[in-house]
Chain A
Amino acid sequence: MGPENGSATVLPLPDYRDKSAEVAERFRRIYERPVVLNICDVGKVFETDRGPVTALDRISFRAHRRELICVIGASGCGKSTLARIVAGLDAPTSGRVLLGDREVRGPGRDRGMVFQTYTLFPWRTVLENVMFGLEVGGSSRHSAEEEAREWIEVVGLGRFAGAYPHELSGGMKQRVAIARALANQPRVLLMDEPFGALDAQTRAEMQGYLLQIWKIVDVTVLFVTHDLDEAVYLADRILVMGPHPGHLLEVVEVPLERPRRPAQLESPLFLATRRHLEALIYGSRVRTTELLPRFRFTQAGDDVE
């Protein structure tokens, strides 16, 4: 996917740290906002048959109110584990997660989550799915329905309120999942590779939807992905993680202006940021496919390559 030029640079790219005054001002304002999510020295060790495996090694990070944070890294760097710990689905073995000034102990309504797999309840309609959080939170059926309808409108699926999940496309399911999570009005929305199973076209649409929704809702987003373009396109800041054990490599401030537009995907600043992330995550391993032993299983005369 990345540009082909290695050392022979065609176009001199700017430094990814070169922010316009406008963007720098934006970050200054973000850091003035209160800290919503405080991840302090979080570590996670899994006990396996082959002994303990460290998945996360002392991660510390603070997210400010209404920030959109992307977590990125190669597979196995513990980025999903981090999201699950913030959600309360897994407990850290060391350190702690603070939401505001309260420590996270188990899942709760103040942190919504959208999973990579489709987790809509198949026996509930779109409307009933979105009502779930409100129902278990003790809202009356009437007010829950009213609120749920609003959230379904927010994600643009008003016409499908009565549909069952199996009648929806993958992208629509994830939009319902977002509405369902937001209906509880959580302070943090965790998204664990939510668009990972979608095709490229739908994924791009969903990124647009997410940015629109995020703009009108008071919520801090922690978005896990392995797609570099997605991370740069969406995030205010990017948590870049490395594997074995999962640790924080760098927190990158994305120098792109908001509102984001698809045209920015080709801007030099975008490419510079992306190149930097690539170097951080894959280092020298970029596009080194090991040579496979040479066998030939075809009799066809013409070589394909």
Chain B
Amino acid sequence: MLAVFSFLLPLALWALVSYVPFIWHPFILIEQPGSIDYFQPGMLVEREVFAAERARAVLEGRSLAEGRPANPVYLPAPHQVARALYTAFKMPPRLPSEPWLHQSLGHSLKVIFAGFALSSLLGVPLGILCGTFPFFAKITEPFLEFFRYLPAPAFGALAVAVLGIYDLPKIAIIFIGTFFQEVLVIANTTRKLDPALFEAAETLGANRSQLLLKVAVPGVVVDLYTDLRVLLGWAWTYLIVAELVGTTSGITYFIHQQARYRNYENVYAAIILIGLIGLSSDVILARIGSALFPWTPARAKPSLVRSIVKFLAARGNGRATKEQPA
């Protein structure tokens, strides 16, 4: 319930600023220029200027300009953004060479997936290795610790020089942005695994490779999965910077292009879409996670549906309810 509210609150605030004329609205949108020659229909004029011109027109007995309060062009109202979201998928782009919104998004997803998959492919095994055997941690972590502080975008120019101007340097930046964090985070997660589990396995006769494969890997896989979800968020952060490298591409290209046309509702639509994709992928991954790992105790977080069912079941007395084991 509160989760829904947390979204409604900012939305209500946005609607308030957009639809209540006396809140903010520092401009006047000209509807009738009247006798003021530099006014044009659809033009935004600062409130003070409009008032001054109007006062002068009243004094001189000329015809009055008409207009209504408006917000700056960079703050479109919710319904405009909603419409833009809808039309972005239906309306062809202005120029035939420009990509559709969904094409831009698809391209971004491809880049982010490639970068993240590459970094996880190397980062996860290395992280687990570092976390299990101090030897690996000692020979890699100091350098990774150093490299982690180098901002990934700083490698933009280098990446272009080495990898060209298309997708490769972008993938490289996402890789640089996530890989080093990933190894350290996963190594830490692995180290947090109860050492008594390793000792128990040793007394049961496990050798080194069995410790790694039968204790460390299954032992961290739940937390590792959560780590990867967080790191995927990092990858998204680097995406926008990465897409500016070389030829601007993907969702960033779409945003820049629309901002240039002053279609700010499209810009908002694209930004919201990124958020929606991020959030929904995280929710989906969380769901998949709880299905994948049946041994994790249900984390005492009753879903809305389940609590409603419980409530109804409790009212209709006599009906047995099957409670989740705590």
Contacts and interface: CB of A to CB of B under 8 A. Distances in A.
Interface of A: 87-89, 106-109, 111-113, 115, 117, 119, 121-125, 132-133, 135-137, 164-167, 177, 180-181, 184, 190
A113 B203 contact: yes
Given A164-B295, A166-B295, A119 B194 contact: yes
Given A119-B199, A121-B218, A167-B325, A108 B205 contact: yes
Contact of A123 (B200, B201, B221): B221
Nearest to B214: A136
A109 B221 contact: no
Contact of A136 (B201, B221, B325): B201
B207 interface: yes
Interface residues of B, number: 25
Q: Which 5 A-B pairs have CB atoms at the shortest separation, nearest pair first?
A: A109-B205, A133-B204, A119-B200, A107-B202, A113-B203
Interface core residue of A87, A122, A165, A181 (most chain B CB under 10 Å): A122
A190 B202 CA distance: 13
B184 to A, nearest CB: 24
Given A119-B199, A122-B296, 16 more contacts: A87-B203, A107-B205, A108-B203, A109-B204, A109-B205, A112-B204, A115-B196, A119-B197, A119-B200, A121-B201, A122-B219, A122-B295, A124-B218, A132-B206, A136-B205, A184-B204
B207 to A, nearest CB: 7
B297 interface: yes
A137 B219 contact: no
Interface in B32-83: none
Contact of B199 (A109, A115, A124): A115
A111 B203 contact: yes
A137 B204 CA distance: 8
Contacts of B165: none
Contacts of B199: 87, 89, 107, 113, 115, 119
Contacts of A177: 200
Contact of B204 (A164, A165, A166, A180): A180
Contacts of A181: 203-204
Contacts of A121: 197, 200-201, 215, 218-219
Contacts of A165: 295
Contacts of A133: 204-205
Interface of B: 194, 196-197, 199-207, 210, 214-215, 218-219, 221-222, 293-297, 325
17 contacts: A88-B202, A107-B199, A109-B204, A109-B205, A121-B200, A122-B295, A123-B218, A123-B222, A125-B295, A132-B201, A132-B214, A133-B204, A136-B201, A136-B205, A136-B206, A136-B207, A177-B200
Contact of A115 (B200, B210, B222, B297): B200
B205 A113 contact: no
Contacts of B207: 136
Given A89-B202, A107-B203, A113-B203, A136 B210 contact: yes
B25 to A, nearest CB: 57
A107 B204 CA distance: 8
B214 A112 contact: no
A123 B217 CA distance: 11
Contacts of A117: 194, 196
A115 B325 CA distance: 26
Contacts of B202: 88-89, 106-107
Interface core residue of B202, B293, B325 (most chain A CB under 10 Å): B202
Contacts of B214: 132, 135-136
A122 B294 CA distance: 10
Contacts of B200: 113, 115, 119, 121, 177
A123 B204 contact: no
A132 to B, nearest CB: 6
